[in-house]
Amino acid sequence: MISHSIVRLVWALTFLLLSLVENAAVPVPDYVIYGTIAINGRPVTKADTNVTIEARRSGGGPVITSYRMGATSRLGDFYYALRLSVAAAADATPSQAVLGDSIVITVRSAQGIAHQVTNQVTEPGVALRLDLGAGVDSNGDGVTDGWELATFGTVGANLTRDTDGDGASDRAEYSAGTHPKDAADVFRIAVENDGASIQVNFRALRAAGPGYEGRTRYYSLEGTSDVASGNWQSIENMSRIPGTDQLVTYSPPDGTNAPAFFRARVWIE
């Protein structure tokens, strides 16, 4: 038999536990920003310890968090990382970012401010890659430093080679948005002919990721009836297609002398 005093004690402990659970603040995961940096056309490395990346709520506000290049060996030679503690507006401290608001990311060197951008803290627990000034091509090889760093860990590699042996040079893989170290990742078009009609399609990829900042990928579909002649003609309305990760489909009109062969070109602007 349980006495009334014990029952009251059990209920009191249960109420206390429920109150603690209800009022306990659940930790919000951090918001992480990382990437590469280039200043005046030169990639910043861990040796550039005078370069600091700072995050603020406003351009002139106090620093929430910062990173000095070379401070953490696990980030390698070229990467920075900012880890921001985040909270809702009502709970945020001066050292936290506010969910839904924008923060100001500033890159400082011995010469002053090299880059300054804003970024919205959309949700906690996100790792966002943000390359700053990495869209430059410091050696003029037609491929941005940011892409070379992210892909090969260095700038100035021989991009005429075919690293994965898939028949496309590393420079061509940059243009196509495929990975030069993955032979299965290739750009191709599909031509389907059921005897009654022909359909041509391919995936037009967006220019996104390290080294594609401010750039657009374009596609052109061409056809010919004689491959040996080299006389390829652009298909009408298919000569400059911006890639937006869409499937591009072309069906030659019925009753026309349509080309028997097709090819697609891709380039970056």
**What's the pLDDT tens digit per position in 208-250?**
887 887 789 999 999 998 988 889 999 999 999 999 999 999 9
Q: What does the pLDDT read at residue 135?
A: 73
- Whole-number CA gyration radius for the chain: 27
Name the least confident of 40-44, 160-164, 246-250, 254-258: 254-258
In a domain, 134, yes or no: no
Q: Which domain holds residue 214?
A: 190-268
Highest mean pLDDT among 11-15, 149-153, 264-268: 264-268
Q: Are residues 118 and 42 located together in one domain of the fold?
A: yes
Mean local confidence (pLDDT), 119-133: 85
Backbone angles phi, psi at 109, to 5 degrees: -125, -175
For residues 30 and 124, give the distance between their C-alpha atoms in angstroms, rounded to a whole number. Answer: 6
Q: For residue 25, is pLDDT > 50? A: yes
Of 115, 146, 129, nearest to 31 (Cα)? 129
Residue bearing the bigger pLDDT, 242 or 142: 242
Counting residues of the chain whose pLDDT is more than 90, the rounded percentage is 47
Q: What does the pLDDT read at residue 170?
A: 96
Q: Are residues 44 and 124 located together in one domain of the fold?
A: yes
Residue bearing the bigger pLDDT, 110 or 39: 110
- DSSP letter at 237 equals T
Highest mean pLDDT among 15-24, 35-44, 162-171: 162-171
Q: Are residues 195 and 108 located together in one domain of the fold?
A: no
> Domain end: 80, 99, 129, which one?
129
Q: For residue 8, is pLDDT > 60? A: no
Q: What does the pLDDT read at residue 72?
A: 93
Number of domains the chain contains: 2
In a domain, 9, yes or no: no
User: Residues near 42 by Cβ (< 8 Å), separated by ≥ 6?
Assistant: 138
> Domain end: 81, 113, 129, which one?
129
210 is written with which tokens? 């390290």
For residues 191 and 86, give the distance between their C-alpha atoms in angstroms, rounded to a whole number. Answer: 50
In a domain, 79, yes or no: yes
Contact 116, 104 (CB under 8 A): yes
> Domain end: 88, 106, 129, which one?
129
User: Residues near 246 by Cβ (< 8 Å), separated by ≥ 6?
Assistant: 203, 204
Counting residues of the chain whose pLDDT is more than 70, the rounded percentage is 87
Q: For residue 21, is pLDDT > 50? A: no
For residue 47, the domain's CATH number is: 2.60.40
Q: What does the pLDDT read at residue 145?
A: 83
Q: For residue 24, is pLDDT > 70? A: no
Name the least confident of 57-61, 135-139, 228-232: 135-139
* Full 3-state SS string of 57-117: CCCCCCEEEEEECCCCHHHCCCEEEEEECEECCCCCCCCCEECCCEEEEEEEECCEEEEEE
